């Protein structure tokens, strides 16, 4: 199993309190990386996007937990239903969807431009 898949599973398994603590830790790490960059101490620039991606994954997971908690509080979702919710789309599937939409928009824009020129 790849490190990325393992990290995603770790994040999905976190509860609200653990996820919030991890988010604080990652934000602090990003801050420290920025300070190190200014001092010229960063040896691996790949740490920046990796840390940002982990922060985004955690924020997404926290949003899911918050919405599930709100639904549960409103009585619209029981604890059993919350556990049975399907897993969210992977980041790659979301990126593919965005790319497809962008391509369609671009084609439409170029067709419009061609119609206006004629």
Per-block average pLDDT, block size 10, for the chain (118 residues)?
87 93 97 96 93 96 92 76 53 46 47 46
Q: Where are the domains of the chain?
A: 3-87, 90-118
Q: Which two tokens stand for residue 75?
A: 């009585």
Could you tell me where the DSSP H helices lie in the chain? 3-13, 16-39, 47-73, 79-84, 91-117
pTM of the model: 0.62
- How far is 39 from 5, CA to CA, in rounded Å? 33
């Amino acid at each position: 199993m790849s490190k990325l898949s393992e990290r995603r599973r770790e994040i999905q398994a976190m509860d609200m309190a653990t996820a919030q603590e991890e988010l604080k830790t990652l934000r602090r790490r990003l801050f420290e990386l920025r300070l190190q960059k200014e001092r010229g101490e960063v040896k691996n620039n790949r740490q920046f996007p990796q840390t940002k991606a982990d922060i985004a994954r955690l924020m997404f997971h926290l949003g899911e937990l918050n919405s599930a908690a709100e639904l549960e509080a409103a009585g619209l979702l029981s604890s059993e239903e919350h556990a049975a919710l399907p897993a969210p789309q992977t980041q790659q599937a979301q990126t593919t969807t965005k790319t497809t939409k962008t391509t369609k928009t671009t084609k439409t824009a170029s067709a419009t431009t061609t119609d206006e020129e004629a």
